A and B are shown apart, each in its own frame.
Chain A
Amino acid sequence: EPEVTQTPSHQVTQMGQEVILRCVPISNHLYFYWYRQILGQKVEFLVSFYNNEISEKSEIFDDQFSVERPDGSNFTLKIRSTKLEDSAMYFCASKIQGTEAFFGQGTRLTVV
């Protein structure tokens, strides 16, 4: 069964460092998303991406965040200068229009 794949599963980084979280969406999906979940809290929307551009973003997705689809299969989330409060589980999701979203297994980011 096709699935969304995220790497790494866990990343520890120093405050102020840049991190790139990677995702391989399901191959025929056209809509891509990043969500995050701070420990013990609900899942929050960050950004959606369609047709090689951001289609929607939340207030959380400020200038330190960027997304890219560098090739036909990968979808990345970059955090330029990490802060302690960026520590969270980051989920990538993909979908076809009008259907359910499928989520990856998540990347647990720990900023120290």
Chain B
Amino acid sequence: GIQVEQSPPDLILQEGANSTLRCNFSDSVNNLQWFHQNPWGQLINLFYIPSGTKQNGRLSATTVATERYSLLYISSSQTTDSGVYFCAVGGYSTLTFGKGTMLLVSP
């Protein structure tokens, strides 16, 4: 099956710093989503981005499908950004998740 590798596995930032999270995948995909898992365990949809670039406030994402990677940018990080960020990829149906990047933003 498809392999999904996320980096870095852990990241510690000071509030206000910027960061880039990476997702590499091993095969062509029709679906790529970024999620934020909050401390209560909920998976919050951030982006549906099988290709191209999208922005939502302080967050933006870029997927280069031909090179099989996606990047999630977080600017001016806040303590509420802490949690685990998952990349998930797939065809038209099921998703395969990466192991996630655990982000801790300290005040």
Contact = CB atoms under 8 A, between A and B. Distances in A.
A56 B94 contact: yes
A17 to B, nearest CB: 23
* Interface of chain A, main secondary structure: strand
Interface of B: 30-31, 33, 35, 40-43, 45, 48, 86, 88, 92-100
Given A89-B41, A101-B33, A106-B42, A48 B94 contact: yes
Contact of B97 (A43, A48, A100): A43
A35, A42, A98: most-surrounded residue (chain B CB, <10 A)? A42
A88 to B, nearest CB: 11
Contact of B100 (A35, A42, A98, A105): A42
A102 interface: yes
A55 interface: yes
A100 B45 contact: yes
A42 B99 contact: yes
Interface residues of A, number: 24
Contacts, number: 50
Given A102-B45, A105-B42, A106-B42, A56 B93 contact: yes
Interface of A: 31, 33, 35, 37, 41-45, 48, 55-56, 89, 91, 97-103, 105-106, 108
Contacts of A105: 40-42
A100 B31 contact: yes
A100 B41 contact: no
